[in-house]
Amino acid sequence: MTTKKIGVVKELEYAPMKGVIVDGKEILIVKTGTKIFAMGNKCTHMGCNLSSGKFDGETVRCPCHGSVFNVRTGEVVKGPAKKSEPTYSVTEEKGELSIDI
């Protein structure tokens, strides 16, 4: 496992979702209150970018076909997607965010 820097917390203050690419993997970074989570950014149904979807509470809805994923666990809350998103550990140090890949 490798730790990679992915940005700063301030980037998530006004837009709580951000898509990043780390080691060729598309990752969705989400801030819910004071917690920050990371999961796959490509919908497991048809590959649309979840970062373009709708964030609500602890879920994100895919903009293409409406699949809903829990941002904490990556689990499918509502289909048509059947496969969960991978999740990644995010750490914050002095305002900088890092992810374990």
Say if CB 8 and CB 95 are below 8 A apart: yes
> What was the pLDDT predicted at 90?
95
Query: Domains of the chain, with CATH numbers?
Result: 3-100 (2.102.10.10)
The answer to whether the Cα torsion of 7, 49, 44, 59 is positive or negative is: positive
> What was the pLDDT predicted at 15?
84
> What was the pLDDT predicted at 78?
97
> Residue 11 and residue 67: Cα distance in Å, rounded?
26
DSSP the chain: --EEEEEEGGGGSS--EEEEEETTEEEEEEEETTEEEEEESB-TTT--BGGGSEEETTEEE-TTT--EEETTT--EEESS--SPPPEE-EEEETTEEEEE-
* pLDDT tens profile 30-79: 999 889 999 999 999 999 999 999 999 999 999 999 999 999 999 999 99
* pLDDT-above-70 percentage for the chain: 100
Can you give the pTM of this predicted structure?
0.92
pLDDT band at 2, cuts 50/70/90? confident
